[in-house]
A = this chain, B = another copy of it.
Amino acid sequence: MAASTLSEVARLAGVSLATASRVLNGSSRKPAEDIAERVREAADKLGYVPNAQAQALAKSSSGLIGLVVHDIADPYFSAIARGVQEAARQQNRMVLLASTSGAPSDEKEAVAAFAARRADSIVIAGSRSVRAEDKQGNIELAAELDRYCRNGGHVGVVGHPVVGASITEGYHVVKVPNEELAAGLAAELAATHDGAFLIIAGPEGLYTSDDRVRGFQRGLEEAGKPAAEVIRTGFNRAGGYDAGAALAERIKSSPERLCIFAVNDVMAIGVTAALRPEGVWIPRDATIAGFDDIETLRDFRPALSTVHLPLEDIGRLAAGDPDTPPVSGAVKLRRSTEIPAESQA
């Protein structure tokens, strides 16, 4: 990667390095127009491309924003990524991407790499966890982030603060009202559903999952319903699928319709997918709701009830866009929780 340099441009234009720099790379001091023109011509002729690394080094600001996601191909994360990307574009920055499959120790690596690249800010999406196996990783991640912040970095986290992080300076959490929204969902579902409720959750210790479970239970309680049974499984489609497969028999043999709440949409999709080949139909044999309102749902049948989250805005907020409104979700009841007419009577 050897390209022509500023000093070559300066020489060709017959000016000093300083002048060339001032002309080409925005400075408060604007050289005279005739000189500027000469410099621009020279740059053009040489095909000069400024070396952003060198600029970053000299100005100590890289114009980079780091994004940590569990899996970029997951619609939840790619929606957030889109938001971050847009915010970055507006701020004239570039996005550095890291997929970590969710392990805090990998996230720590990613943060360290971003810090090494002197990213101006770092966005961490993906649920925080207090699970025992993540303990060590969390400590390291928190330490890495603290160091990064102490050195002047900004970090935006989606949902919950990183476990153990102690710095507040430069640390920004995009709050997602998971609990309230889940409670709201429970309330609306409780209004029409008479039977039992079942929650399919992620592993205990995952904040996002736990918050939604808690909220849903609270909503049920407030509606005067008994608490729902909770099944724990993976926080992704595969987890939902497994849970669904395990549930099919039970649903078929029970006379009462079950209302299932999967703590996120991909899990709800997994559940539904596992139920289908078993002959369990939604909403005929059971009703189901998810959470997130990922774009994929638009074309999923039966239309899935869920809680809408403005994922792109969340990304934008986490990336520090000031013009984005705060996060507000909304319950969306759709076909998957509509009790069929014949049995309502």
Chain A residues in the interface with B (C-beta under 8 A): 1-3, 47, 49-54, 56-57, 60-62, 67, 71-73, 75, 78-79, 81-82, 85-86, 89, 94-99, 112-113, 115-118, 120, 147, 151-153, 269, 272-273, 295-296, 298-301
Contacts and interface: CB of A to CB of B under 8 A. Distances in A.
A184 to B, nearest CB: 26
A299 B86 CA distance: 29
Interface centre among A49, A86, A269 (most CB of B within 10 A): A49
B82 A118 contact: no
A97 B95 contact: yes
Q: How many copies does the complex hold?
A: 2
Given A1-B153, A72-B72, A94 B94 contact: no
A102 to B, nearest CB: 14
Nearest to A71: B82
A56 to B, nearest CB: 5
Contacts of A113: 52, 94
B61 A85 contact: no
Given A1-B62, A52-B116, A112-B49, A96 B94 contact: yes
A299 B241 CA distance: 11
Contact of A56 (B2, B53, B85): B53
B49 A53 contact: no
Given A78-B73, A118-B1, A299 B269 contact: yes
Contact of A97 (B51, B97, B301): B97
Contacts of A269: 299
A57 B47 contact: no
B1 A61 contact: yes
Given A94-B97, A296-B296, 8 more contacts: A51-B116, A53-B118, A72-B72, A81-B97, A85-B99, A96-B97, A97-B97, A273-B299
Contacts of A120: 1
Given A82-B71, A96-B96, A50 B3 contact: no
A199 B8 CA distance: 54
Contacts of A86: 99
A232 to B, nearest CB: 22
26 contacts: A1-B60, A1-B61, A1-B118, A1-B120, A1-B153, A2-B151, A3-B115, A3-B147, A3-B151, A49-B115, A49-B151, A51-B57, A52-B118, A53-B53, A54-B57, A72-B78, A72-B81, A72-B85, A73-B78, A73-B81, A73-B295, A75-B78, A86-B99, A96-B96, A273-B299, A296-B296
A96 B53 CA distance: 14
Contacts of A67: 97
